[in-house]
């Protein structure tokens, strides 16, 4: 299907970079979190609170499966998507998987004022982020076709690197 899936930790820039990449490649941009919010009719913290994380993960996989039927999309995936084997298999069927990486210091700066990520509640410290990141990184890396570092770089520069990596398959 030639989709490009952006995966990585919360605050790694998946949505912002995805939008730039979509513009650059004349493709449509989609965001699993945004689709979940639309489908469920409530914000993510409320889904976690009222229905629980397991429910959120089920809906996330459902949404990903729907998206994988599409062609040539730029898809920003919530930070937990690449943690499930089922999701990784789905993304592999649908196209390329790009891991966006960032240092815990960079992530902390980006998420400092954010209240929309339940898993960062009480974790907005270098130690808290490092701990969760270390648990996730091996899964992210195993899933990814390529890893692109995002620290101290412009979104255009990062998007151009992803674009180059998949030319001629992207266009
Ligand atoms: C999550 C990341 C969030 C969102 C939810 C859970 C995670 O998406 O899906 O809060 O498990 O890492 P972003 O990575 O877009 O913040």
CA dist list (Å): 36 to 54, 147, 155: 14, 26, 25
42: CA distance to ligand 1 center in Å? 15
Kindly give the confidence (pLDDT) of every residue in the chain, 171 residues in length, as a single tens digit, with 9 standing for 90 and above.
799 999 999 999 999 999 999 999 999 999 999 999 999 999 999 999 999 999 999 999 999 999 999 999 999 999 999 999 999 999 999 999 999 999 999 999 999 999 999 999 999 999 999 999 999 999 999 999 999 999 999 999 999 999 999 866 554
pTM recorded for the entire structure = 0.96
**Dihedral-angle region of residue 116 (phi above 0 means left; psi in -120 to 50 means alpha; beta otherwise):** alpha
Q: Is 43 in the pocket of ligand 1 (CB under 6 A)?
A: no
- Does the CB atom of residue 22 touch ligand 1 within 6 A? no
Task: Please report, for residues 42, 100, 108, 112, the alpha-carbon distance to residue 22 in angstroms, rounded to integers and kept in the order given.
Answer: 26, 16, 26, 27
8 lines ligand 1 (CB under 6 A): no
- The alpha carbon of 117 and the centre of ligand 1 are apart by a number of angstroms equal to 6
User: From atom 2 of ligand 1, which residue's Cα is the shortest distance away?
Assistant: 79
């Amino acid at each position: 299907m030639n989709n490009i899936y952006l995966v990585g930790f919360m605050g790694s820039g998946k949505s912002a970079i995805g939008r730039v990449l979509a513009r650059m490649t004349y493709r449509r941009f989609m965001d699993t979190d945004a689709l979940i919010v639309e489908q469920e009719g409530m914000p993510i913290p409320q889904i976690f609170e009222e229905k629980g994380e397991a429910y959120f993960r089920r809906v996330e996989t459902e949404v990903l499966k729907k998206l994988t039927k599409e062609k040539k999309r730029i898809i920003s995936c919530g930070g937990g998507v690449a943690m499930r084997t089922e999701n990784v298999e789905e993304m592999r069927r649908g196209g390329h998987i790009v891991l966006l990486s960032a240092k815990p210091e960079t992530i902390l700066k980006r998420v400092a004022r954010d209240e929309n990520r339940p898993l960062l509640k009480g974790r907005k410290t270098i130690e808290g982020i490092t701990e969760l990141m270390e648990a996730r990184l091996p899964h992210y890396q195993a899933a990814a076709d390529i890893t692109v570092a995002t620290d101290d770089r412009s979104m255009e520069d990062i998007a151009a690197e992803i674009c180059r990596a998949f030319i001629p398959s992207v266009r």
